[in-house]
Each structure stands twice: as C-alpha cells, then as structure tokens.
C-alpha cells in the first residue's frame, strides 16, 4: 500500500511538473507570438505613417506650386519615403531615348545596376540585380506619357502588393502635378505670345517697357525702345493675299530674333507693327541694333518678286523722357518721320522734327 501511494504521488508530482512546464512553455510561446505580433503591428504603423506623410507632402506640393521642377523634386522625395527606397530617379523622354531628369538618395551607387540596359528598352516592372530590387513605374496622365520612375530597394525587403498600390497612386499624383505645371506654363506662354508669329505680344512688351522705365528712375540706368513698321505692307496683302502677308510677318520675326540679344524683347504690337525693347542700351547702341535688323530684313529673300523693307523709330530714356507715354510717342514720331522721308530708314527721336499737325 505504501509503495502504491508513493507511486501515485510520484506520478502526480511528475504530471504536475509536466503541466507546469507545459503551461510555462505555452506562456512563453504566447508571449513570443505577442512580441512578434506587436513588432509587426508597430512596423505596419510606421509604414502607414510613412505613406501618410508621403501623401501629405505630395498633396502640399501640388497645392503650393505650379512649377515643374519643385513638383518633381518633392514628388520624388515623397515616393522615396513611401517606398523605403535607397534611391529613386525620374527619366523623361529626350531626343533619342529616356534621359535622367532628377534623382534622390544613393543614386550614384545604385545607378550602375539600374542602367545596365539602354533606357529606350526600359519598361515598367520589377527585377532584382546586385542585391537590389528595381521597380519601374510609368508616369502618365490624361493620355500624356511623361517618363519612367525607377525605385531601388533592398532585395530582402520585397515590395508587397499593397505597397505597389500606394506607389502607383503616388506616381499618378506626381504625373498630374507635372502635367498641371506644364499646362499652366503653356497658358502663360499663350497669354504673352502672338498666335500668328509666336513673338511676344503688346501686353508683355509694354509691361516690360514700364518696368524698365521704372528701373531707370530707381537706379539711374538707361534703355531704348524701337518701334518698327513694315513698309507698304498693304500692297503685299492686296496683291498677294493675307497668307503671303502672314508669312512676311513670321519671317521678319524669325530674322529679327536671329540678330538681337537674348536679353532683348521683340514683340508684335499691331498688324504690321513691331516693338523692340533694349535694356541697358544707349541711343547709339540702339541705332546700331535697329540698323542691323533693317539691313537683315532688306537682304532676306522673303518674297520672290519683291523686297520687303522696314522703317524704325528709336527713343531712349532718360535722354528722350522719363514717362512711358512720352517715350512711346517720341519713338512713334521718329517712325513716322522715317516713313515720310523715303522708308527703309531708322530715325532717332532726338534728331527728327515732327510738326504737331
């Protein structure tokens, strides 16, 4: 009996011990699972915060600026943050193939692996090279192909399906921002350009004229304006038609742009009338420029059966005045004098006499 009791006690003790160890093991395993689950949740929260931060930064960019370069720069920064990428780059179409437009992160290190094939052969997708996961996403919106985003990330941190969805959304937002910036730039160009010749229009050049005169008042600088008019332009329209006349105006614009400085502004301000704004240009220098334009137009074969010539009037500030209306009036009077005295001439306001009548 005593032996049986000892045996039962031993069995009870062992069973209790096994149960205790089993429970302890279960608790340890459960705790381990809880730790893993907590880490996973923490990682998920961090990732979600990064995605939210990226979306917020990109949304702020799209509302703060309508310039293409800032949109691209901030858009790539947001994409890199959301993708947890070591580097990111945007390629856009060039003359022959895709060309690097902007990059962020460790692009200098990653680029040799990314550019192993000709850019023209790149397509969207995912590939693994050199321990790097390379993700390429097309950038397009409203039927416009804008380029290709290349994201480089560690191979041991593969991109999930949900992450690809977020990245695709961000890339689409960048595309919208870039296209909006381009549309805005095009509208600005249309607002200051003459639709026929592509030259600056009256509004732009006279606003720039007013700014230059104001700068003269403030800093004591000088400048000149040249008003030009095509001689006998009505005869061209009457004998050859308005299409030929339009061609003459476009060709005069092309010729003039080829002989003036980049800092000068040339505009069509009327039917056959043009204006040339010359900042930091004295009266003599302005006359030289006007003569250069006049000779270039007269020497060009614009029409096969006749020579096209222009006349010009020049006014310089502060010599000819300090008010915008006064300067324009004197340049116009000099142009009128050139027309009345044989045409194909350049006249300086201070050297001509035009009666009030």
Q: Which residues belong to the active site?
A: 272
Q: How far apart are CA 327 and CA 213, in angstroms?
A: 9
Q: How many CB atoms lie within 10 A of CB 75?
A: 29
- Go through 238-253 and write b for each residue having 16 or more CB atoms within 10 A of its CB, e for each that does not: eeeeeeebebbbbbbb
Four-CA torsion 66, 71, 74, 76, nearest 10 degrees: 170
Q: What span, in angstroms and rounded, lies between the C-alpha atoms of 338 and 345? A: 5
Contact 251, 302 (CB under 8 A): yes
- Please provide the DSSP assignment of 131-181 as one string: TEEEEEEEEEETTEEEEEEEEEEETTSPPPHHHHHHHHHHHHHHHHHHHHH
* Furthest CA-CA distance within the chain: 147
Q: Strand order of the sheet with strand 200-201?
A: 200-201, 265-268, 273-279, 223-230, 310-317, 346-348
């Amino acid at each position: 009996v005593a032996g049986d009791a000892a045996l039962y006690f031993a069995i009870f003790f062992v069973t209790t011990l096994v149960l205790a160890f089993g429970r302890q093991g279960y608790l340890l395993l459960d705790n381990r699972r809880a730790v893993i689950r907590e880490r996973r949740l923490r990682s998920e929260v961090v990732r979600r915060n990064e995605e939210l931060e990226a979306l917020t930064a990109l949304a702020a960019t799209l509302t703060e600026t309508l310039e293409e370069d800032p949109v691209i720069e901030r858009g790539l920064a947001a994409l890199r943050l959301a993708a947890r990428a070591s580097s990111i780059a945007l390629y856009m179409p060039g003359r022959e193939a895709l060309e690097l437009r902007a990059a962020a992160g460790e692009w200098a290190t990653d680029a040799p692996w990314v550019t192993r094939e000709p850019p023209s052969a790149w397509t969207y997708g995912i590939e693994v090279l050199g321990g790097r996961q390379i993700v390429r996403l097309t950038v397009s919106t409203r039927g416009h192909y804008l380029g290709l985003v290349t994201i480089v990330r560690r191979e041991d941190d593969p991109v999930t399906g949900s992450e690809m969805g977020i990245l695709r959304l961000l890339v689409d937002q960048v595309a919208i921002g870039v296209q909006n910036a381009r549309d805005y730039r095009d509208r600005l160009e249309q607002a200051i350009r003459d639709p026929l010749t592509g030259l600056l229009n009256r509004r732009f050049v006279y606003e720039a004229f007013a700014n230059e005169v104001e700068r003269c008042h403030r800093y004591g600088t000088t400048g000149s304006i040249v008003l030009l008019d095509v001689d006998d332009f009505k005869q061209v329209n009457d004998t050859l038609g308005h299409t030929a006349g339009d061609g003459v105006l476009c060709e005069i614009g092309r010729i003039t742009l080829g002989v003036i400085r980049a800092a000068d502004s040339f505009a069509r301000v009327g039917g056959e009338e043009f204006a040339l704004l010359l900042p930091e240009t004295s009266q003599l220098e302005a006359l030289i420029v006007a003569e250069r334009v006049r000779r270039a137009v007269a020497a060009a074969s614009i029409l096969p059966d006749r020579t096209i010539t222009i006349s010009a009037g020049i006014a310089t500030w502060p010599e000819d005045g300090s008010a915008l209306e006064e300067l324009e009036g004197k340049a116009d009077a000099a142009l009128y004098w050139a027309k009345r005295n044989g045409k194909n001439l350049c006249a300086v306001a201070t050297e001509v006499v035009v009666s009030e009548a």
